[in-house]
Structure 1
Amino acid sequence: MHLYQQFTDQQLVHLFKDGNAEAMECLVLRHKDKLYTSIFLLVKDKYLAEDLFQDMFIKVIDTIRSNRYTEEGKFLPWAMRIAHNLCVDHFRRVKRAPTIKTSDNHDIFEVINFSNDNAEERIMKNQSYDRIRRMLDLLPEEQREVIILRHYADLSFKEIATLTNCSINTALGRMRYGLINMRKMMTEKQIAL
């Protein structure tokens, strides 16, 4: 597995096409944190996020195996688009808006490695992440989505615009207003991170 870590995503896709299952495992490990966290922040349910994450990689595998994967862009934005579409499809199926959960039972930041932090630093980080998550929950859906895709999935504004079917300027505006709204919340509620 360590051998494949130096390979690019495209090289790993080609190796997987040639029958190397470890190449796909490396791709999954490389991108799972960003993809899972983005899905979770959109659906607000740990178990549903896990299911959609698995469905996303099944679609990725099926698409690559059937030679329908085109190398027009990067692997991560393509996988993120599949994940986003699965989330949208889920909400269309259940015909409801995403529910907002602020329960401490579901920590989206389990994927972050805290091995170098002491207990006090972990507690402080968890409290900050919880405050950010609660503020994100209060934003309008379009603003929340752009912030999640930009900061958690590391997508460019061009990729976000494509994914959300809006112009780059609209995506930039949603990000700007989302951050302004979060700053207002911090000021009004005297939230310190």
Structure 2
Amino acid sequence: MQVTPLNDQQLITNYLSGDERAFEELLSRHKQRIYTSIYLFVKDQSLAEDIFQEVFIKIIDTLRKGKYNHEGKFLQWALRISYNMCVDYFRRNKRRPKVSPTETFDIFDVLQSSERNAEQGIIRSQTHDKVRALVDMLPPEQREVVILRHYADMSFKEIAKLTRVSINTALGRMRYALINIRKLVEEREIVLQ
């Protein structure tokens, strides 16, 4: 007999009925993607952890007040909250995220991989490092779209709504991001495998 895991909406309903474990399940199901999306914006592990905690406090608050109405779209809703909190942080502090090579968190450490051998793993890790450095060189609007699309797995429609631009603008930013990455690869003669 197989047990079918509860979907996000069922977990939310159970949580609102007093089942704290339901929220723990919801948190463990989505925490890595939400934390990763925050970290990619702020580039600071302790700041990302602080914002992550604020995001889940806001989520709990909204759920308890009965204001959650994004049935079946919990992850996108949570990512939107995390994005807005990152934007609010940068508006308050009037600065953009900076790359810090001393950070211990690495997005590619959390991605599952089916590497066959150590050499392939090393090559993949080096390629990811190069791509991450290229993304960090992009203008902020282009970097934002790349992160939301490829790391937060959002659609262009969701990105447009979240960043308050048209879908065409979001698509254009992605197009220019890819063009800029290609130029950087050619100019610096970077080999991506």
Q: Do both proteins adopt the same fold according to a TM-score greater than 0.5, normalized to the shorter chain?
A: yes
CA contact under 8 A between 2:51 and 2:82: conserved in structure 1?
Answer: yes
The structure-2 alpha-carbon separation of the partners of 1:54 and 1:117, relative to structure 1 and needing over 3 Å to count, comes to farther
Instruction: Give the corresponding residue for 1:13.
Output: 12
* Alpha-carbon separation, structure 1, partners of 2:53 and 2:121: 29
Deviation of the 1:113 alpha carbon: 3.5
Instruction: Give the corresponding residue for 1:112.
Output: 111
Instruction: Give the corresponding residue for 1:167.
Output: 166
Number of corresponding residues: 191
2:32 matched to 1:24? no
Range that drifts further, 137-146 or 22-31: 22-31
Deviation of the 1:6 alpha carbon: 2.1
Instruction: Give the corresponding residue for 1:37.
Output: 36
Deviation of the 1:123 alpha carbon: 2.1
Superposition map of 1:177-188 within 5 A: 177-188=176-187
Deviation of the 1:56 alpha carbon: 0.7
2:156 matched to 1:124? no
Deviation of the 1:75 alpha carbon: 0.7
* Alpha-carbon separation, structure 1, partners of 2:83 and 2:137: 20
* Alpha-carbon separation, structure 1, partners of 2:189 and 2:22: 48
The structure-2 alpha-carbon separation of the partners of 1:61 and 1:152, relative to structure 1 and needing over 3 Å to count, comes to same
* Alpha-carbon separation, structure 2, partners of 1:116 and 1:81: 32
The structure-2 alpha-carbon separation of the partners of 1:116 and 1:100, relative to structure 1 and needing over 3 Å to count, comes to closer
Superposition map of 1:37-186 within 5 A: 37-71=36-70, 74-103=73-102, 105-114=104-113, 118-186=117-185
1:91 is matched by which residue type in structure 2? F
**1:152-192 Cα shifts (integer Å, max 9, x gaps):** 11111111011101001100111111111111211222222
* Matched-pair identity in %: 55
Range that drifts further, 81-90 or 99-108: 99-108
Structure 2 runs not aligned, ≥5 long: none
2:12 is matched by which residue type in structure 1? V
What is the DSSP-based 3-state SS (H/G/I as helix, E as strand, rest coil) of the residue aligned with 2:191? coil
Deviation of the 1:115 alpha carbon: 7.4
Deviation of the 1:116 alpha carbon: 5.4
**1:78-110 Cα shifts (integer Å, max 9, x gaps):** 101110111011112222222233446442323
CA contact under 8 A between 1:102 and 1:134: conserved in structure 2?
Answer: no
CA contact under 8 A between 2:115 and 2:121: conserved in structure 1?
Answer: no
CA contact under 8 A between 1:38 and 1:152: conserved in structure 2?
Answer: yes
2:68 is matched by which residue type in structure 1? Y
TM-score by length of 1: 0.89
TM-score by length of 2: 0.89
